Amino acid sequence: MIIPKTEEEIEIMREAGRIAAQCLQMLAGVIKPGVTTGELDSLAERFIRERGALPTFKGYLGFPGSICTSVNNVVVHGIPGDRKLREGDIISIDVGATYKGYVGDTAATFPVGQVSPVAEKLIRVTRESLMRAVQCVRPGATVGDIGFAVESYVRTFGFSVVRDYVGHGVGRSMHEDPPVPNFGRPGEGPVLKEGYVIAIEPMVNEGTGDVITFPDLTVVTKDGKLSAHFEHTVAVTKEGARILTLV
Ligand code: MG
Ligand 1 mean position, distance from CA 5 (Å): 18
Instruction: Report the pLDDT value the prediction gives residue 160, as an integer from 0 to 100.
Output: 98
Ligand 1 mean position, distance from CA 32 (Å): 25
Segment 217-241, tens digit of pLDDT: 999 999 999 999 999 999 999 999 9
Q: What percent of the chain has pLDDT over 70?
A: 100
62-73 average pLDDT score: 97
Ligand 1 mean position, distance from CA 193 (Å): 20
Ligand 1 mean position, distance from CA 88 (Å): 26
Q: Output the average pLDDT for the chain.
A: 98
In 12-77, the DSSP E strands lie at: 54-55, 67-71, 74-76
123-129 average pLDDT score: 98
Ligand 1 mean position, distance from CA 167 (Å): 6
Task: Please name the residues in contact with 67: beta carbons below 8 A apart, sequence gap of 6 or more.
Answer: 23, 27, 40, 41, 44, 45, 55, 57, 80, 93, 94, 95, 96
| Among the listed residues 169, 49, 22, the one whose alpha carbon sits nearest the alpha carbon of residue 108 | 22
Instruction: Report the pLDDT value the prediction gives residue 184, as an integer from 0 to 100.
Output: 98
Instruction: Report the pLDDT value the prediction gives residue 229, as an integer from 0 to 100.
Output: 98
Ligand 1 mean position, distance from CA 161 (Å): 15
What confidence category does residue 58 fall into, taking pLDDT thresholds of 50, 70 and 90?
very high
CA distance 170 to 177: 8
Domain 7-243 sits in which CATH superfamily? Answer: Creatinase/methionine aminopeptidase superfamily (3.90.230.10)
Ligand 1 mean position, distance from CA 106 (Å): 7
Instruction: Report the pLDDT value the prediction gives residue 144, as an integer from 0 to 100.
Output: 98
11-27 average pLDDT score: 98
What confidence category does residue 136 fall into, taking pLDDT thresholds of 50, 70 and 90?
very high
| Among the listed residues 208, 201, 211, the one whose alpha carbon sits nearest the alpha carbon of residue 243 | 201
Orientation of helix 117-136 relative to helix 143-155, angle to 10°: 160
Instruction: Report the pLDDT value the prediction gives residue 152, as an integer from 0 to 100.
Output: 98
Reduce the DSSP state of residue 92 to 3 states and report it. strand
223 close to 82: Cβ distance less than 8 angstroms? no
Instruction: Report the pLDDT value the prediction gives residue 134, as an integer from 0 to 100.
Output: 98
- The amino acid that residue 234 corresponds to is V
Q: What percent of the chain has pLDDT over 90?
A: 100
Q: Where are the domains of the chain?
A: 7-243
**Rg for the chain, CA atoms, rounded:** 17
Segment 169-221, tens digit of pLDDT: 999 999 999 999 999 999 999 999 999 999 999 999 999 999 999 999 999 99
- pTM as predicted: 0.97
Ligand 1 mean position, distance from CA 168 (Å): 6
Ligand 1 mean position, distance from CA 175 (Å): 7
Instruction: Report the pLDDT value the prediction gives residue 232, as an integer from 0 to 100.
Output: 98
Q: What is the Cα 135 distance to its own chain's centre?
A: 16
Task: Give the burial class of 238: count Cβ atoms within 10 A of its Cβ; 0-12 exposed, 13-18 middle, 19 or more buried.
Answer: exposed
Instruction: Report the pLDDT value the prediction gives residue 97, as an integer from 0 to 100.
Output: 98
Ligand 1 mean position, distance from CA 114 (Å): 28
Orientation of helix 7-28 relative to helix 37-50, angle to 10°: 140
Ligand 1 mean position, distance from CA 202 (Å): 10
Instruction: Report the pLDDT value the prediction gives residue 51, as an integer from 0 to 100.
Output: 98
Task: Give the burial class of 156: count Cβ atoms within 10 A of its Cβ; 0-12 exposed, 13-18 middle, 19 or more buried.
Answer: exposed
